[in-house]
Amino acid sequence: MVTASAPGKVYLFGEHAVVYGEPAVPCAIELRAEVTVTQREDGLRVQANDLSLDGFTVEYDGDASGRPDIDVSDSLVDAAMGYVNEAIAQVEDAAGVEDAGFEVQIDSEIPLGAGLGSSAAVAVAAIDAGTRELGVELAPEEIAERAYRVENEVQDGQASRADTFCSAMGGAVRVEGEDCRQIGTPDLPFVIGYDGGAGDTGALVAGVRELREEYGFAADTVEAIGDIVRCGEQALADGDVAELGQLMNFNHGLLSALGVSSRSLDAMVWAARNAGADGAKLTGAGGGGCIVALDDSPETITALEYTPGCEQALRAELDAEGVHTEG
Ligand code: PMV
């Protein structure tokens, strides 16, 4: 039995634009997904607890190549199981075995589909735990690459390396196409606001693609997000938190222009700014889910808790630890 954990992430800058080759800077946060893998006779059995902040439990018996053979009504849970199936396929590929049997237990603090990289964290931790259970130790870079293949497979070819690289390596990372590296940052305290919902990443990415194809100014907007990221890298290097906040605000405005914000995300962004955050933006695909504010004051958490549409507000420090085994 091997247990591994991997962090979720927030995007400081660059989501959506990263899909078109612009750089992005995600940061790992101290909310983790823990995956325990135990070999068993045959087939795949998955148990998942607390896949959302509200928590629920799902169990199924299936086989590694197929979909769960129980009726899973929640499409998000179904999607999460898709990631586990693909991660197990990567484990088998890395270890050079076929049809191994596994019991997989997932305990995640990261809400599903809310822009905090839950699927990447589960895929990364599952690959690390699964390969170690078979006696194979992969470098975090290889775990990241294999977890990227998992996401790309489940998301029909619409995935960047940002989430998976960040989750495997920890800390802040810079991703531009296939070029992925860790970067240094000053201390970055984050407050996260969560509306209890989730966006459909595939549909949101497709919506931006259509806008970009239809309007030159939408393509310019995507490029402008890339420019913000480049400015943001300088602000990170200078440790200029006020400038970082300003750039996050700008980034949110452009994401909003591309149609991926929502009423609740905008409300939470404004609540955090009005409470004194250095900056605030949606994080991840958008449509619903989470915002990230650059701040550590209790006032911002309280302001978010009183914001209509906000279900939960929490502090989350940058997590320097990428994937690692537990226990
Ligand atoms: O919502 P998340 O955490 O899956 O982030 C999606 C980020 C996008 O840039 C919209 C897509 C991607 O794969 O980079």
- Partners of residue 5 on adjacent β-strands: 34, 324
Q: How far is the CA of 285 from the centre of ligand 1 (A)?
A: 5
Counting from 1 in the atom list of ligand 1, the atom nearest the Cα of 113 is 1
Burial of 275 by CB count in 10 Å (0-12 exposed, 13-18 middle, 19+ buried)? buried
Q: How far is the CA of 8 from the centre of ligand 1 (A)?
A: 12
pLDDT score of 164: 96
Q: Which residues line ligand 1 (CB under 6 A)?
A: 15-16, 18-19, 115, 117, 159-160, 162-163, 201, 205, 284-285
Domain ranges of the chain: 2-183, 189-317
Q: How many whole angstroms separate alpha carbon 100 and alpha carbon 112?
A: 27
Residue 186 is assigned to a ligand binding site: no
pLDDT score of 67: 36
Predicted confidence (pLDDT) at residue 68 exceeds the cutoff of 60: no
pLDDT score of 55: 34
Determine the residue of 163, 229, 262 to mutate for testing ligand 1's pocket, defined as the one with the most ligand atoms within 8 A of the Cβ atom: 163
Q: How far is the CA of 280 from the centre of ligand 1 (A)?
A: 18
pLDDT tens for 151-198 read 998 877 878 899 999 999 999 999 999 999 999 888 899 999 999 988
Assign 76 a pLDDT band (cuts: 50, 70, 90).
low
Q: Catalytic residue positions? A: 163
Predicted confidence (pLDDT) at residue 112 exceeds the cutoff of 90: no
User: ipTM score here?
Assistant: 0.98
Q: By alpha-carbon position, which residue is closest to atom 13 of ligand 1?
A: 159
pLDDT score of 58: 40
Residue 121 is assigned to a ligand binding site: yes
Q: How many whole angstroms separate alpha carbon 105 and alpha carbon 49?
A: 8
Residue 73 is assigned to a ligand binding site: no
The DSSP string of 52-116 is SSS--EEEEEE-TTS--SS----HHHHHHHHHHHHHHHHHHHHHT-SS-EEEEEEEE-SPTTSSS
Q: Coil, strand, or helix at residue 181?
A: strand
- In the CATH scheme, what is the homologous superfamily, with its name and number, of domain 189-317? GHMP kinase, C-terminal domain (3.30.70.890)
Q: How many whole angstroms separate alpha carbon 217 and alpha carbon 235?
A: 26
Predicted confidence (pLDDT) at residue 75 exceeds the cutoff of 80: no
Residue 285 is assigned to a ligand binding site: no
pLDDT tens for 206-246 read 999 999 999 999 999 999 999 999 999 999 999 999 999 99
pLDDT tens for 285-318 read 999 999 999 998 899 999 999 999 999 999 998 9
Cα three-residue angle 260-320-192, rounded to 5 degrees: 35
pLDDT score of 100: 85
pLDDT score of 41: 83
pTM: 0.89
**Mean pLDDT (whole number) for 95-119:** 88
Assign 138 a pLDDT band (cuts: 50, 70, 90).
very high
Q: How many whole angstroms separate alpha carbon 262 and alpha carbon 268?
A: 10
Fold of 2-183: Ribosomal Protein S5; domain 2 (3.30.230)
Predicted confidence (pLDDT) at residue 71 exceeds the cutoff of 90: no
Predicted confidence (pLDDT) at residue 62 exceeds the cutoff of 60: no
Q: How far is the CA of 161 from the centre of ligand 1 (A)?
A: 9
Residue closest to 249 by CA, chosen among 8, 10, 25, 13 = 13
Q: Are 30 and 7 in contact (CB under 8 A)?
A: yes
Q: By alpha-carbon position, which residue is closest to atom 5 of ligand 1?
A: 284
- For the beta carbon of residue 78, count every other beta carbon within 10 angstroms: 15
Q: Say what angle helices 201-214 and 216-238 make with each other, to 10 degrees.
A: 120
